[in-house]
Structure 1
Amino acid sequence: MKKVLYPLAAAALFSAATTAHAEDKSLVIGTNNWAENIAVANMWKIILEDKYDYDIELSDVGKNALYSGLANGDFDISLEIWLPTTDAPYLEPYKDRVEINGAWYEGTGLGVVVPTYVDIDTLDELGEHADDFAYQGSPTILGIDSGSSIAGLTDEAIDEYSLPLEQVNSSGPAMMAALDDAYSREEPIAVTLWSPHWAFAEYDLKYLEDPKNVYGDNETIYWFSRQNFTDDDPWLTQVLNEWHMDDDSLGTLMADIEKAGDPVEGAQTWIDDNQDLIDEWLAAGE
């Protein structure tokens, strides 16, 4: 005899299926060394482990390894992909083997940044005043690791604008230390930066205008995952798709981490102060 599924029973079963947590609560989050990436990864690790008994590993790797790792199933999710421009080259080889999910931040910025006390406003003017931006004796744009998207775009900008400067790549903290030192003495310095970043709350900075649009337009940050993750953990998928942050919420999270000098301590401070916002995200899975 054919079974009849009454509407209320069907609704209950559907609700249970869509809000159920994954049976296997172990989760590997692939991260890269950008301030906002470190911030949100530690935030979610604390929330999910403390409230929902997940066992989460954060695996910090370079961009190429991050994308190949998701495609190969070595990581379950990663919380930051900038589209349509910045991370498109990294995505392209794996676009059929990873899943792009919900957007959580809109209106990014990316480019060469100088302190506002510096009297130039465009990349062309940077070239005209290159000698003012000497670092260790040579006209320089200070950047982060050479494998990053922004490093590649900055190399393109140097070629496109025929800038008589070289890009010197180092870690994000080393670049910020150089910025802090120059800023404290009100000396000219040019660095590669992006928004969101805590530096814009700490210092008065400005992007140099990029009329040739090498760095692209404002973008959107999404989270992404290995294939079939959304089927394996529909509850977390719903929660992360509901997650949204703006300059205030993300900026204060990064500032708390910077102030604490520890991503776990800083993220915990922010979580304690923003439980109402977190509850809104988590309500999506109820």
Structure 2
Amino acid sequence: MIRMLSTILLASAAFTGSANAQSGTVDLAYVEWSDAVVATNILAAVLEDEGYTVNMTPLPAAAMWQAVATGEADAMVAAWLPVTHKAYYDELQDQVELIGPNIEGAKIGWAVPAYTDITSIEELKDKADLVENQVIGIDPGAGLMQASEQAIKDYDLSVNLMDGSDATMTAALKDAIDRNEDIVVTTWTPHWMFGRWDLKYLDDPKGSFGGEETVNTVARKDLATEMPEVHAILKNFKLTLEDEQKLMLENEEGKNPAESAREWVAANPDIIAQWTGK
């Protein structure tokens, strides 16, 4: 994962601009995971209402961290800690400011349909044939995939971890459920899939996926000095799992993420006032 950091500078060039306190422009980096899309669009709507121009740039996770570390992005709200993005944080912690959690109660792991006769990762040692000896994964190099590779070693499993994306993983899950077939997928909470289907996480007695995660806000080092109002909003920015997963499902069902974020902001003036201090 860390080896990727030396190769992602080209990806950072996708930014339309860099942080500029005088221009009133805020650059936000994010990963195109459904939870990060929701949170970043909500934050962008709030900042726009405060008079800022907001650029949102989707990047791979490693490039997202690097963009904030180099100052090409002002901030991001998609840092999964302490496990999923541990390698990125360990490498770049001296170059960024970890503001703190914006989502509590997050987690990562493997999930199956509720009807699947498996309740623990350990059982896959004897029941891998139920799922064709496969675990359906997401982007290669993602923290979740690194943890999945560790789980295969920890539990001595004879399964293949299949690379893909959030979209290909959920498509495979939908197809299996439509056919009433068994499947194991890499997943995380918050995610819209838990609002659409009856799923269960597999127990992880060896702790390969760690415990509870938080999704955190991370900013460039000098943001508090150069853009104190933006920094204050970032410090106060917090969402609930329930709210985020609701919007994630709406977006998955066809709603425009910017539109659903705008509607949520309009419906929650008290929360927004807490963030902006107004």
Give the TM interval when normalised to the shorter protein: 0.7 to 0.9
Residue number in structure 1 paired with 2:53 = 55
Name the structure 1 match of 2:137.
143
1:204 is aligned to 2:203: no
Distance in 2, matches of 1:181 and 1:277, equals 38
Counterpart in the other structure of 2:18: none
Deviation at 1:231, TM superposition (A): 1.4
Q: Is this contact kept in 1: 2:95–2:221, CA < 8 A?
A: yes
Equivalent runs, 1:87-236 vs 2, <5 Å = 87-134=85-132, 139-236=133-230
Matched AA of 2:244 = L
In structure 2, the partner of 1:32 is: 31
Q: Is the 8 A contact 1:63 1:148 kept in 2?
A: yes
CA displacement 1:236-265 (0-9 Å, x = unmatched): 222222222222211222122222343223
The 8 Å contact of residues 28 and 57 in structure 1, kept in 2 or not, is answered as: yes
2:263 counterpart SS class: helix
* Aligned equivalent of 1:256, options 237, 250, 254: 250
- TM-score, normalised via structure 1 length: 0.85
Counterparts of 1:97 and 1:224, CA distance in 2: 10
Are the aligned partners of 2:102 and 2:216 in contact in 1 as well (CA < 8 Å)? yes
One-letter amino acid of the counterpart of residue 45, structure 2: I
Aligned residue pairs, count? 258
Moved more, 23-32 or 159-168: 23-32
State the distance in 1 between where 2:114 and 2:120 align: 12
- 1:99–1:225 CA contact under 8 A, matched in 2: yes
Larger C-alpha radius of gyration, 1 or 2?
1
Contact kept? 2:47, 2:230, Cα under 8 Å: no
Match of 2:71 among 51, 70, 73: 73
| Paired residue type of 1:257 | N
SS at match of 1:29: strand
| Structure 1 runs not aligned, ≥5 long | 1-21
* Structure 1 pair 276–257 and aligned structure 2 pair: CA distance change class (3 A): farther
Work out the CA distance in 1 between the residues paired with 2:274 and 2:179. Answer: 44
Alignment root-mean-square deviation, CA: 1.5
Question: Could you say which residue in structure 2 is the equivalent of 1:7?
Answer: none
**How far has the Cα of 1:69 moved from its partner?**
1.6
* Runs of 4+ that moved beyond 4 A: none
The 1-side partners of 2:255 and 2:152 are apart by: 34
CA distance in 2, matches of 1:217, 1:82: 12
Equivalent residue runs for 1:5-24 within 5 Å = 23-24=22-23
Question: For the residues of structure 1 that align with 2:54 and 2:43, how far apart are their CA atoms?
Answer: 9
Structure 2 CA distance for aligned equivalents of residues 124 and 182 of structure 1: 22
Q: Structure 2 unaligned runs (5+)?
A: 1-20
Contact 2:77 2:102 survives alignment (8 Å): no
